[in-house]
Structures are given as C-alpha cells and as structure tokens.
Structure 1
Amino acid sequence: MNTQMTYTAFLDEQCLASGPLVDVATAIQQHANQSNATVLIFNDQTGKQIDLDISGSKQDIQQRYAEHPETVKKVGRPKLGVISREITLQQRHWDWLDQQSSSASAVIRKLIDKELNDPNSESNKMLAKQATDRFMSAMLGNMPNYEEATRALYQGNKEVFLDLIRDYPKDIYQHILKLSAYAF
C-alpha cells in the first residue's frame, strides 16, 4: 500500500494535478491565475475533499505545503515520528505483549505496519472502499448508476462495479480505478 500522502485536483471532470500536496497547490495556483473556475482537491488516501490556501507567491506555497520536519521539541522520539498516547488492553493482551522480545510499543507498531502494508487485509479493503465512495459522492452524486455502483463497491462485486462506472468521464473513471485498486 502507498503510505505517502498524495492529492488530486479536479477542474470539473478534468484532472488538473496529482501528487504531493506542494505540487498540487502550485499547479492550482498557476491555473487560478488563468481562470476563476472552481477546483476540487481530494486526499487520495481518504477520498476526502480538502481546501488549500494558494495565496502568495510560488515560494509562499512551497513553504506552506512542503513537507519538513517539525522544529518544536516534543516529548518522546519526535525524529522517529513517535507520538505518546495511552492504550487500554485486557490483561491477556498485556501478558502476551510482556512475553515478546521487543517492547510493547515496538510490537504494536510492527503489527500495525504489517496490517498497513497488506493490501488484502479487510481493514485496507474497507479504507479503499470508503475513499472511493467519498470521491464518487463528491464528483458523481447525480450521475447515472452512482447508487448502484456504490452498492457494488461495498458488496465487493468488481465486475458489476466496473461495468457501472465505465461510461463516467475519463479522468474521473481513471481516478476511481486508482482509489479502488485495493477495494476488491
């Protein structure tokens, strides 16, 4: 599974830009200078629509949306991206964790990473379905076959799903295929 955050911007039915947030924001700003048309931006991992601030220069946008390490001192191991939170488990879970050769936190991180990297896991299939559904709802809520395609998506019926979406606009169709790649 792709764990790098990517975004896609659409101008009506046309894909305007796709990739890291800074690249999408820069492309939208360039387009905004030429047109006042509304652009919709989506997080590719969640399917959620987002808003961007494209004011200022190209350098302002690059500073605003470039991925850079946090400079604020945090408790724990911030260079590794570790965030401290409380977790509640049953005694048998703690007993099992205590028997492992690594710390409880390390074991839990490994289990989560294993799940995240398995595109065939049930949780990742559901996440892909939800992302696809959110995108389709925003872009195609009034299109023919939308509701039937959504039902086929959640039922895991790939053939019916693909048949129902085949006549959608090309860029939207391609993006749905990308989002639903791990849904079935």
Structure 2
Amino acid sequence: MTYSETGPASDSLTVFAGFQRIATGPRTEVIAQLRRRADSEPVFVFDDSTGESIDLDLRPDAGQPSASPEPAPRTVGRPKLGVVAREVTLLPRHWDWLNRQPGGASVALRKLVEDARRIHVGRDAVRASREATYRFMSAIAGHLPDFEEASRALFAGEQARFEALVAGWPVDVKAHLAQLSANAWVAA
C-alpha cells in the first residue's frame, strides 16, 4: 500500500477498514500499526480534529528527511514571528475607519479578530464539531439509510433525532460519530 500524505497534521487519527475501526491514536502510532498490517483491505484514515479523510505514505522510507533540503523561499511578513501577509478586501469606508484606529489597520484588525474569537468560542466549537462529524459521516456513511435526515438533524442541533437516525448504523461508526459530535449539541 502506498499513500501520499496530504492535508494538515493532526495529533490523532482514526482508521477504518470498511465499517470497522482498526486503529486510533497519535499519527506515528497509527502509521506504525498500518505498516504492520498483513492484509490488503483498503483503509480510510480520518483526522480526528477535522473529520477529514487523509492519505498517509506507508512506505518504510517515508517521512525520512531528504539529503539536501532546499531553503524555504523568502516570504512577505514576519515569518520568524509566524506573521504571513495576506490580502483583505474591504470597502474604502472600512479602510478609513481602520486607519483612524490607534496603531493603524493591522493592530485594529488583530484586536477585532481576538475579540470575535473570544466572544464566539462556544459557537465556533459547535460549528467545528458539526462540520467534523459531517465530513466523517459523508465519507464513510454517505450511502447508509437515513444519512440525509441524520445530516439535517446534525446541523439543526437535534441530538435525540440524530442519535435515533444513526442507531442502526455499524457500532464503530456510531462510536466515532459520538466522539466527533460531542461538542455539536452544546447551545451556542
């Protein structure tokens, strides 16, 4: 089996072969478990923080540093501080207001973002949990009975209805859905 790694790195992964969960845990441990597998049944690897299906490179030499790494190209911003320049499109009146703020546009935008993150932390956690649950559900259970209704219940925040709709689904799939949706039912 050869896979190429894509997507953002997560601390925890879950692997399914069909509807059976065969591995879960830190990325390095999951890769080691998958490399030891004797069968050739296809597996589906999911990032536990996003619910996204990801690909892994299971070749024994994968992940080894190359002999001569190329230096990263110089970018705009302050890379050593983690600052990356990006484009923001605003109306002229927005730019005028931002430029009148103490510290200028960048400081004002950072403050606005931090305030919004703090104020909406609960709502954002609910949304992230629902999206992760849906990504996993779509990838592994999209053809199971009541998938569409379960999706509607998930995004409507109807926990009892969601759980009733997925009650007949495979045990490992239900267990992973419960884990991913743990924060999906909290009122924002």
Band the TM-score falls in, shorter-chain normalisation:
0.7 to 0.9
Go from structure 1 to structure 2 and tell me whether the alpha carbon gap of 1:55 and 1:94 turns closer, same or farther (over 3 Å shift). same
Q: Which one-letter code corresponds to 1:27 in the other structure? A: Q
**Does structure 2 retain, via aligned residues, the 8 Å contact 1:124–1:182?**
yes
Taking a change above 3 Å as real, the CA distance of residues 140 and 129 of structure 1, as seen in their structure-2 partners, is: same
Which residue in the other structure is 1:67 paired with?
none
AA matched with 1:120: G
Query: How far 1:78 moved relative to its partner?
Result: 1.9
Deviation digits for residues 104-145 of structure 1 (CA, Å, limit 9, x no counterpart): 334434544555564422x55334323212211221123233
Can you give the 5+ residue segments of structure 2 that lack an aligned partner in the other structure?
1-8
Separation (CA, whole Å) in 2 of partners of 1:100 and 1:119 = 25
CA distance in 1, matches of 2:23, 2:100: 49
User: Is the CA contact (8 Å cut-off) linking 1:9 and 1:39 kept in structure 2?
Assistant: yes
Does the aligned pair in 2 maintain the 1:26–1:62 contact within 8 Å? no
- Relative to structure 1, the CA distance from residue 126 to residue 162 in structure 2 (aligned partners, 3 Å threshold; closer, same or farther) is same
Indicate the percent of aligned positions where both proteins have the same amino acid. Answer: 39
Amino acid at match of 1:146: F
Q: How many residues align?
A: 172
CA contact (8 A) 1:25 1:61 kept: no
Structure 1 gaps, min length 5: 65-69
Quick check: 1:129–1:180 contact (8 Å CA) kept in 2? Answer: yes
What RMSD in Å do the two structures reach over aligned CA positions? 3.1
User: Quick one: distance in 2 between partners of 1:80 and 1:19?
Assistant: 31
TM-score (norm 1): 0.73
Give the 3-state SS of the residue equivalent to 1:88 in structure 2. coil
The aligned residue for residue 170 of structure 1 is: 171
